[in-house]
Amino acid sequence: MKPIQVGLLGIGTVGSGTFNVLKRNQEEIKRRAGRGIEISMVADLDVARARAVVGPDVQVVDDARAVIQNPEIDIVVELIGGYGIAKALVLEAIAAGKHVVTANKALLAVHGTEIFAAASAKGVMVAFEAAVAGGIPIIKALREGLTANRIEWIAGIINGTTNFILSEMRDKGLDFDVVLKEAQRLGYAEADPTFDIEGVDAAHKATIMCAIAFGIPVQFDKAHVEGITQLAAADIRYAEQLGYRIKLLGITKRNHKGIELRVHPSLVPTKRLIANVEGAMNAVVVHGDAVGTTLYYGKGAGSEPTASAVIADLVDITRLHTVDPLNRVPHLAFQPDRMSDLPVLPMSEVVTSYYLRLRVADEAGVLAQVTGIVANAGISIDAVLQREADEVGGEGSTQTDLIILTHETREGTMNDAMAQLQGLPTVLAPITRIRKEELN
């Protein structure tokens, strides 16, 4: 049988990885897919670079629409990224009856509802394993492997850049700005790292996992997004002393009122495996009611790890494209007419525990005032750590750091308590609040 024909839109890092892995492992992949998979056309603005990657036998053009309109092409792989032209091209490819593979988390997190609806109407597949956690097959695991479960929560290190920065901050005791510059010099962080360090990239990925886990539409606009730019080396050190590491987690969770969807730095007990995921690696923990807690670990970015996910999608489509569209695995795991309207909750309704660091006057009664406010708010304290004033502010200092770990409470309750604490004349600086996840 003639190989299924694939057209790439963009042949940068992931595209060239896809071309190379497909070529290197073609026999093995064909034995699995039941049919050859051939990249026969590539569109890239840099035609010379594309030609250098694919050699003389693949048609190279500078116009993506030439790929989409080519009747010989069965699957279009979108590797352009972003919400702009990529959205128009994906919708045009669907309208032209092509199956689509994309690594574009931003596009799906923001416009997924429109894109999946268009694909369903046209009877084509949109596959996106590479959009979340690169080479880790987390979409496959959530959508198929864990399909028996009522998923309770997911927590993931799903941005390698920020995990690299946090690992360096902890290892070397350095502040965020210093490590970011070093990460940029080494190529671990982009020249404009905003999407990574502000948590936006992780929130795109968490949004997609949330939709698949709970069978709700993708709702990036409802995600709480907080990055790592405000983290101080002191908090990483104090967390360590209390038995925790600080990680940027993408979290989605059921609580009794709805669905939590949030990205923010979190204290995680050092004894959890995920707390020991270092450098640019990714890891996702999924808790299902039947299976319990499962952990997926691997490279979340890079040429061949991401290509591994793109090609897995190509194999799926090759196997399934002749199947009645109604019998394929639904895009978001649940049948489109059985999606839930569970709300994504505002942050004030999130339930979690907390690390608070207060810079206080080192004088009699301060600890009692602070713990009194926390207790009156109905928040239970788990642990308190107070440093020697000399250690914090130098010889003869009259200030010290008071660290409080709490048990779970509503974020709205914590906001009220923090406002009262901040009003105390003995609290001398803005309070640092970091959420804490036990993940047990």
- The residues assigned a catalytic role are 205
Cβ 107 to ligand HSE shortest distance, Å? 12
Using only C-alpha atoms, the chain has a radius of gyration, in whole angstroms, of 24
Closest to ligand HSE by CB, 162 vs 353, is: 162
Q: Which residues bind ligand HSE (CB under 6 A)?
A: 159-161, 196, 201, 300-301
Tokens (6 digits) for 3: 């190989």
Output 219 or 282, the one with its CB closest to ligand HSE.
282
CB contact at 8 A, 434 and 236:
no
Residue 361 and residue 192: Cα distance in Å, rounded?
Answer: 40
Q: Of 29 and 206, which has the nearer Cβ to ligand HSE? A: 206
Phi, psi (deg, nearest 5) at residue 429: -150, 165
Least Å from the CB of residue 72 to ligand HSE: 31
Q: How far is the CB of 196 from ligand HSE (least distance, A)?
A: 5
Distances (CA, A) of 364 to 357, 361, 369, 421: 18, 9, 10, 16
Is the CB of residue 215 less than 8 Å from the CB of residue 338?
A: yes
**Strand bridging mode 258-269 / 244-255:** antiparallel
Q: What share of the chain is helix, strand, coil (3-state, %, to 5)?
A: 40, 25, 35
Q: How many CB atoms lie within 10 A of CB 380?
A: 12
Instruction: Please tell me the distance from the alpha carbon of residue 376 to that of residue 409, in angstroms, as a whole number.
Output: 13
Write the DSSP symbol of residue 287. E
Nearer to ligand HSE, 149 or 229 (CB): 229
Whole-number Å distance between alpha carbons of 7 and 22: 13
Closer of 202 and 333 to ligand HSE (Cβ)? 202
Which C-beta is closer to ligand HSE: that of 201 or that of 401?
A: 201
Beta carbon of residue 189, minimum distance to ligand HSE (angstroms, whole number) = 8
* Least gap, CB of 131 to ligand HSE (angstroms): 8
Q: What value, to the nearest 5°, has the Cα angle with vertex 87 and ends 82 and 93?
A: 130
Residue 322 CA, distance from chain mean position: 32
